[in-house]
Structure formats: structure tokens, C-alpha cells
Amino acid sequence: MLPTMRVIVFASQKGGSGKTTLAGHLAVQAENCGAGPVAVFDMDPQGSLAKWWNVRSADTPVFIHSEFGNLAQNLQQVREKQFSLAIIDTPPAVTRAIAEVVDFADLVVLPTRPSPHDLRAVGATVDIVEAKDKPMIFVVNAATARARITSEAAVALSQHGTVAPVNIHHRVDFAASMIDGRTVMEASPNGRSAKEIAALWEYLDLRLAKLDRAVLTSSDGTFGGTAAANGAGRPVPAFGRRALSQNRA
């Protein structure tokens, strides 16, 4: 049986890697491409993803309130609500709690800036993902176009795992669009940043599809510990939004 809801976890030990920005953008892009309903979880105590969503006017993606101790239950709830994709943002730290979040992942995305500090810091996160035996993808984020260090970073990361063939370049429109709860796809749909996000989601979606096909050939049909009936495209109540809307006044 194919998995019913896929879970992508964004993880990085290094603060400022762009996890939250990518998580929000890819959640919206997944919805735009018909891969929803999409639920987003913010496990970072700073709550940056929640704050972005709280000023967002669009109804999608749906935000789910959760804490580390309740994550398994909350994921099961959205699975039963027939969501197709869950995206989880995590704190910039290496803790036992992060390892437990990775346990729920079907795919772990590791955003990494092309800098010596970020490259040195990636090892601890890789250790967690490998210990959990989870598929992972590096994304070179906040890159400078035509800079030598960008290509060098991709080569260095490739020694540890798969690197997405799409680099996300540093542009002010990423931060500017998120101020009022939007994304670059909504603020400037024909811009270069929007095209990069679209290409990155297409790649990640293909990777997930590849994992889906692996389920068909597995002996037990397991896939990242998830199982439920596929409800893609069906109306889903935005129960996360009702909970958070009380704080909007």
C-alpha cells in the first residue's frame, strides 16, 4: 500500500540556514502544484513559521499547533483528516527532540548556506539523519550567483549525500515577501526566485515519488512509518487556523 501522507522535515544545526523560509515557500508551492492538502508544523520555539502564517491571508497551507510531546498524535490527526503532505520546521539545534522529529520523516531536507561555518556545522545533523536511516537532500541556500564558493559547497556536501540540483540564491524578495505572510510566488510569480522554488519543489516531489515506488517493491509496504488512505484533493477543515485565529486580534 502506498503511503497516505508524506512528511518532509527541515533540519539544520546552524541558525540562519533558511529552514523556515524554505519550509513556508515549499508548502505553498506544493499546494499550488496540487500536492495538498498541506499541513505545516513549527517545532522551533522562536515560532518564525507560525508568525509568518499568522499574518497570511490565504487559507492554505494549514497550520497545526503542536509540541514535541504531541507530534505523533498531531501527525496522526492530520493523516486522518486526509492531508497529503506535512512539512515540519525544526529548531537550529542538535537535541534528542530533533532526532525524534526526524523519526517521523519520509524525507529530510538540510538547507545549507555556502559558507565554511555552515559546512562545518552540517555533520551533526547528518549524523542524526543517518542514525535514523532516513533519506536526505542537501539544498544550497542563499547562494551567490557565479560565486566559486557556491560550487565548492555543492561538491563538499555531495561527499555526505545527495545535493539538490537547484540552488536557491540570496535575494531580498524572499524576506520581503514573508513580512506580510506571502511567498515570492505570490509577490513576484514571474521572478527568478519563484522559478527556483518551483524547480526545487519539482525535484523534491520527484524524490518522494521515487520513494513511493520503492514501497511497491518492498516486502512489508512500509514507508517512513506512515499509513492511511490517500485523500489528496478532498476538502479539509482548517482546524489549525481556527486555533490560531484567536491571536490575530
pLDDT in tens, 116-133: 999 999 999 999 999 999
Q: Does residue 237 belong to any structural domain of this protein?
A: no
Give tens-digit pLDDT for 153-210: 999 999 999 999 999 999 999 999 999 999 999 999 999 999 999 999 999 999 999 9
What mean pLDDT is predicted for residues 32-53? 96
Given this model, what pLDDT does residue 95 score?
82
Q: Does residue 59 belong to any structural domain of this protein?
A: yes
Query: Is the previous residue joined to 189 through a cis bond, with omega within 30 degrees of 0?
Result: no
Given this model, what pLDDT does residue 93 score?
84
- Beta carbons within 8 Å of 246's beta carbon, 6+ residues apart: none
122 contacts 17 by C-beta, under 8 angstroms = no
Q: Does residue 64 belong to any structural domain of this protein?
A: yes
Q: Does residue 247 belong to any structural domain of this protein?
A: no
What mean pLDDT is predicted for residues 70-82? 96
Average pLDDT, the chain: 87
Given this model, what pLDDT does residue 226 score?
36
Stated pTM of the model:
0.86
CATH number for the domain that contains residue 211? 3.40.50.300
Q: Does residue 102 belong to any structural domain of this protein?
A: yes
CA 79 – CA 69 distance, rounded (Å): 17
Count of structural domains, the chain: 1
Full residue range of the structural domain in which residue 170 is found: 9-218
Q: Does residue 120 belong to any structural domain of this protein?
A: yes
Locate 163 and state its grid cell: 545535493
